[in-house]
Structure 1
Amino acid sequence: MKYRCILLDHDDTSVNSTATIHYPAYCEIMNTLRSDEPELKQDLEGWFLKNFDPGVGDYYQKELQFSLEEQKQEYAMWRSYTENKELLPEFYEGVLEIIREFQQKGGIVAVCSHSEADIIENHYRKKGNGIFPDLIFGWNDDHSKMKPEVYPVEVVQQRYNLNPEQILVVDDLKPGYMMARLAGVDFAAAGWAHNIEPIAKFMRQHADYYLETVAELREIIWEN
């Protein structure tokens, strides 16, 4: 195997969740907290772009200037969607098979996401067909411990005695790319969930690999 560890994003890299869960939650949030300014609400493509840059936290806090109380309301509404048992997202075809085969051959899979760890764990338990990652780095109130900071990379390096060249970050958005660059590890852009031109253009220019299909991820992992 070319890599010993994959740091794998969750939303729209492993599971199809933005269109089915996170965007509907966002629409309810905007309809509730900014009902008097409907022009501010993004369509699905615009929502992907806000997640890409500046990121959802800065979008809510700096662009929309949510108050602390509004941030609490936003979080509660979002959790009501992510905890909804009827809204479990599906894994993209081929992702689980890659994880299983990679682990069977001694590889380490660490999920690195801005979703919370309990939500990710539930998706794997309910939809993972018995497959489970070795580590999960989810949303953390201590932002120094989540992407784009290098903490997740440092943890897997220390725990499994890995060199930077043995690690691959796979993500569809900029925080994963930034973490990979700061940590000096390879980055593969997951382009199979959406083909939004500003995102695709950036990733094609800056990623070590731009992957249009899950099958292409398999090829680079086992590339000699």
Structure 2
Amino acid sequence: MACLPCLVLDHDDTVVASTPTIHYPAFLDAMRILRPEVNWSLQEYVLYNFEPGFEAICREMLHLTDEEMLVEQKVWKQWTSTHVPPMFPGMAELLRRYRDAGGIICVASHSSEEMIRRDYRIHCGFEPELVFGWDLPPAKRKPAPYALKEIMRHYGLAPNELLMVDDLKPGWQMAQRCGVPFAFAGWGCEVQPVRAFMKKHSAHPLDAIAQLAPLLGL
């Protein structure tokens, strides 16, 4: 058995480099249809996703209607269903080592469960045990504590037997609410204001995937 019983991972920009390769270009495609005047840089897109968050971007900044939200979601689904994001170098090997050592791998993400499981099958050759994605009702998505509480209930684990790894605030907020240790996935974030906040507020501010291994007991 691995020293750490359960690893809970965010997906986008923690395990796979999906914002620059999928989510950002999908957003630009949607904006060409819905708001042609919006042409944010990748850094602007990441900053706005950090604060105020994607829901607020759509509703409060861009004032998208319900009908326009459906268009945005359709464009996003077209991109996510036809593009497989690359996994960060070294991540697949680390996750296979951890799983072979007896560790439990779960995912709490704002991506869909179907796409998360697909990415793991392609890159790792296995699927996570439990996945809590965008398919959940809004009240159960990060930063709500539902995913971590359900993982602990399902496996009979205490908060200190889990590690939550994320590159943005929702995972950190969820971990805080449950008393679960948190590690910042700094290898997936290059925007300095975001990095500065996450490193300041993380018990384990990581810059490289290799730094995650000791936290897992590997």
TM-score in terms of structure 2 length: 0.95
Structure 2 partner of 1:48? 46
- Give the deviation of 1:212 after TM superposition: 0.6
- Give the deviation of 1:54 after TM superposition: 1.5
Structure 2 partner of 1:88? 84
Matched residue SS, 1:157: helix
Identity over the aligned pairs, expressed in percent?
Answer: 38
Distance 1:207 1:194 in 2: 14
Q: Compare 1-10 and 24-33 and name the one that shifted more.
A: 1-10
Equivalent residues of 2:164, 2:175 under 8 A apart: yes
Equivalent residues of 1:53, 1:174 under 8 A apart: no
Pairing 1:17–2:12 present: no
Distance 1:159 1:145 in 2: 16
Map Cα deviations across residues 14-56 of structure 1 (whole Å, 9 max, x no partner).
Answer: 0111101111001111111011xx2x43210111112212211
- Give the deviation of 1:2 after TM superposition: 4.5
Amino acid at match of 1:20: T
Matched residue SS, 2:56: helix
Amino acid at match of 1:64: L
Matched residue SS, 1:179: helix
Size of the alignment, in residue pairs?
217
Structure 2 partner of 1:5? 6
Matched residue SS, 1:41: coil
Distance 2:211 2:136 in 1: 34
Structure 2 partner of 1:166? 161
Structure 2 partner of 1:120? 116
The partner residue of 2:130 within 135, 142, 165 is 135
CA RMSD across the alignment: 1.3
Matched residue SS, 1:192: helix
Map Cα deviations across residues 43-88 of structure 1 (whole Å, 9 max, x no partner).
Answer: 101111122122111210121110000000000011010011xx21
TM-score in terms of structure 1 length: 0.92
Unmatched segments (≥5 aa) in structure 2: none
Distance 1:219 1:61 in 2: 41
Matches within 5 A, 1:179-190: 179-190=174-185
Distance 1:13 1:96 in 2: 12
Amino acid at match of 1:182: R
Amino acid at match of 1:104: D
The partner residue of 1:62 within 60, 64, 85 is 60
Structure 1 consecutive aligned stretches of length 4 or more whose deviation exceeds 6 Å: none
- Give the deviation of 1:96 after TM superposition: 1.4
Distance 1:199 1:137 in 2: 24
Equivalent residues of 2:92, 2:123 under 8 A apart: no
Amino acid at match of 1:6: L
